[in-house]
Amino acid sequence: MFAQVLATEFAKLRRSKVTWGTLAGLSMGPLGLALFMWIIREPGRAATLGLLGTKANLSGLEATWPAYASAITLVVGIGGMLLLSFIVAFIFGREYTEGTAKNLLALPIGREWFVLAKLVVAAVWWIALTAAVIAESLVIGLALGLPGFSARVASELVGNAMLAAAISYLPVPVIAWITTAGRGYMPPLAFAIAMMALGNVFGKTGWAEWFPWSIIPSLIGMVGQPAQSVPVGSYIVLTITFVGSAVATALQLRYADNTQ
């Protein structure tokens, strides 16, 4: 039965402009970085074209493959905190904004299967976006001819970006829970923005590895040097967050009144 639920969840994305919108949004990241790399490499021409302010300070920045790869991980990490939150809010919230939630709740299928199927769709959507952006980044980086390219750098880019994508996925059932409890898009998006800000604050404290939304900023270097690895404690926190909020979402659908 779960296969049928999953098939219907994918079918609901047919002709959806949101899927293409998220791809367009995330793919702007590597393009912006490429432009940035070019400006660093050729500041004179950039200034001539008006792309660089006269007071811009580019000292300490370098247009190399390692720097570019690190920035790509940052794009995926930030995308994970905001864009993935938007995707999850859309997948769950559209049932309320389009008035179809009530149609799902009196069917011969446990409501928890819808939660699971929607989370799987979000995961697949996010993996596809991440893969597309990684591929785009590699193509653009090679086209730019940045120095320092090697198979090791490329594999690190892929590995770090996928790790950032995976870790940023783990707290998203919280977004699902807020969406089902709030029955719309605004509460989860406000929450995602608030957590991004709070994650940055916590990331600068000793609590970084214990707060789910500061683990990604620490890993990708939003709050200092990128962490070399994710502590075991962070994985435990993320796993508890994932399981706890997924269960909370299922219980919300099962027990809360639906007066939509």
Partner 1 sequence: MPPATDTTVISTSALTKRYRDVLAVDALALDVRRGEIYGFLGRNGAGKTTTIRMLLGLIRPTAGEVRVLERRIVPGEASVFRRVGFLVESATAYPNLTVRENLDIQRRLTGAPSTAVAETIDLLRLGEYADRRAGRLSLGNKQRLSLARAMLHKPDVLVLDEPANALDPAGIVEIRGLLRSLADERGVTVFMSSHILGEVAHLADRIGIIHDGRLLEELDRDELKAKARAYVAVTVNDPTLAETLLHEAGFRHLERDSGAPGVIRVLDAGKRPSEIAGVLVRAGLELTALTPTREDLETYFLRLTGGDL
Q: Which stretches of the chain bind partner 1, using CB under 8 A?
A: 1, 4-5, 7-8, 11-12, 14-16, 98-100, 102-111, 254-255, 257-259
> Residue 258 Cβ, how far from partner 1 at the closest point, in Å?
4
Nearer to partner 1, 97 or 150 (CB): 97
176 with 119: CB under 8 angstroms? Answer: yes
CA distance 163 to 166: 5
Shortest distance, position 117 Cβ to partner 1, whole Å: 11
Q: What is the end-to-end Cα distance of the chain in Å, rounded?
A: 26
Instruction: Provide the minimum distance between the beta carbon of 47 and partner 1 in the complex, in angstroms, as a whole number.
Output: 46
Q: Which is nearer to partner 1, 36 or 90 (CB)?
A: 90
Looking at beta carbons only, is 98 or 207 nearer to partner 1? 98
Number of CB atoms found within 10 A of residue 7's CB:
11
Residue with tokens 């993996």: 127
Please report how close the Cβ of residue 251 comes to partner 1 at its closest, in angstroms.
9
| CB-CB contact of 216 with 77 (8 Å) | yes
Toward partner 1, which CB reaches closer, 87 or 133? Answer: 87
Q: Which of 162, 182, 164 is nearest to 221 (CA)?
A: 164
